[in-house]
A and B are shown apart, each in its own frame.
Chain A
Amino acid sequence: MSPMPFPQQVIVILLCIAATMSTRFLPFLIFTSKKPTPPFVQYLGRALPSAIFGMLVVYCLRNVEVLSGSHGLPEAIALAATFLLHLWKRQMLLSIAGGTAVYMLLVQLVF
C-alpha cells in the first residue's frame, strides 16, 4: 500500500487529471470558434494527423529491445503481416486481428 496519506494521494490523482485535461482542452480554449483560426494552425490541423500516427506507432513500439532478447523480430514479423493483410484485403478489423494473432503465436510458441 502507498506510504502516502490519503489527502496526498488525492492531490497526486487530481494533478494527473489536471495535466491530462489541460492538454486535451487547451487547443480548444485558445482557438475558439469566435475568432477565425490562424491559417498556420489550420495547416497544422491538416498536416499533423499523419505525423501523429507515425509517432504513435513508434510510441507503441518504444520498449522493444532491438539489441537483446528476440531483437524485435516478433514485432517486425507481426507488423509486416498486419501491413500485407491490410494491403491485400483492406479490412481494418481483419488486419488488426491477423497481426495480433501472428504476434501472440510468435511470442508464445516461437520466441
Chain B
Amino acid sequence: MIKPRCGRDFPIIYPFLILKDTPFFPALIDEVIDVASSIRRTAFRAAFPKTIPILTGFLFLGMAYGILMRTKGFHPLYPTVMAMTIFGGSLEYVAVEMLLSSFAPVATLLMALMIQARHLFYGIAMLDKYRGLGWKTPLLIFWMCDESFSINCTAEVPDEVDRGWFYLWVSLLNWCYWVAGATIGAQVGAVLPFDTEGLDFVMTAMLAVIFLDAWLKEKQHWSSVIGLCGSLACLLIFGADGFMLPTMACILLALTVLRGLIERAEGKAGDAV
C-alpha cells in the first residue's frame, strides 16, 4: 500500500488515492498501486545482491564494534545510537577512544574531520547521480559511507530499474546491516559458532574487486594509478594514522596537473569514464 508522500511516486499516485475511497475504478487503482510498489520491488531485487558482501562485512565489523564498546563498559545503547547517527566505521572506533580519554572538543572535532575528509571526494563524484532525486537525496547523502558510495558510484543500474530507489535500497540496507551488527554485538556478544578470524577481509576484497572492475572498464588508467601510487607513497611517508589527508592532497594535485592529459586520453577513446 502506498501512502501519499513527496517525491517521484507522489504526482502519479495521489489522485488515485483520493479516488480509492470512492467507488470509481477500484481495479485501475489497484493496478496503479501495484506499479508503484513494483518499482520499489524491482529496485530492491537489483540492489540487494550488490550488498551481500557488505551484509557479511558490516554484520561482522559492527558486532566487533558493539562487543568492543561493551567490554569498555558502555551501556549497550551506545553502539546502536552511534552506529545509527555517525554511521562511519573508522570514526566510531576512534570515538570509543575519545570517550575514554579526557574531554577535548576541539581536538575531537579536528580528528573527526580528518578521518572523514574523504567523504568530500565522494560528494564531488556523486553530485550528478544523487542530485534531483527529491526527498531521497538528503537520505542518500546521510547514508553515504565508503561502501554505499563505492557500490552506487560503479553500479550500472539497468534501464528498467528506478535509479533513485536502487541507490536508496543499497544505502538503507547497508545502514541496517551496520546498525544490526553493532546492536547484536552490544546485546548478545559473540554469537557466530565458527572461527571468524580474517572475515573482515571481505571489505578489502570488495573494494579490490570494485577497483579492478573500474580498471577493466575505464579508457585510461591515470586516475587509478594516481590513487594507488599516491596513497602507497603517502602511507610509507606519513604512516597508517595520518596518510589520508596527504593522499587526498596528492590526488587532487596530480589530477589538476594532469587534467589536459587525462581529458585528452578520455576524449580520444570515446566517452568520459
Contacts and interface: CB of A to CB of B under 8 A. Distances in A.
A23 B125 CA distance: 13
Given A28-B131, A33-B132, A1 B227 contact: no
A51 B243 contact: no
Given A44-B124, A78-B205, A106-B198, A20 B112 contact: yes
B118 A52 contact: yes
Contacts of B85: 13, 17
A50 interface: yes
Choose among A12, A47, A74 the residue with the greatest number of B CB atoms under 10 Å from its CB.
Answer: A47
B2 interface: no
A86 B56 CA distance: 19
Contacts of B222: 47
B271 to A, nearest CB: 10
B235 A52 contact: no
Interface of A is mostly: helix
A5 to B, nearest CB: 8
B259 interface: yes
Contacts of B95: 12-13, 16
Contact of A51 (B50, B150, B251, B266): B251
Contacts of B120: 23, 26-27
B148 to A, nearest CB: 11
Contact of B230 (A49, A51, A86, A96): A51
Interface string B216-253: 00100111111111111001000010011001100110
Interface stretch (B19-27, B160-168, B206-214): B206-214
Contacts of B92: 16
A17 B131 contact: no
Interface string A82-101: 11001100001101110110
Interface in A56-111: 56-63, 74-75, 78-79, 82-83, 86-87, 92-93, 95-97, 99-100, 103-104, 106-108
Contacts of B42: none
B102 to A, nearest CB: 7
Contacts of B273: 46, 50
Interface string B115-143: 11111111111111011100001100110
Interface of B: 49-50, 52-53, 56, 72-74, 81-82, 85-88, 91-92, 95, 98-100, 102-103, 105, 108-109, 112-113, 115-128, 130-132, 137-138, 141-142, 144, 146, 149-150, 153-154, 195, 197-199, 201-215, 218, 221-232, 235, 240, 243-244, 247-248, 251-252, 255-256, 259, 262-263, 266, 272-273
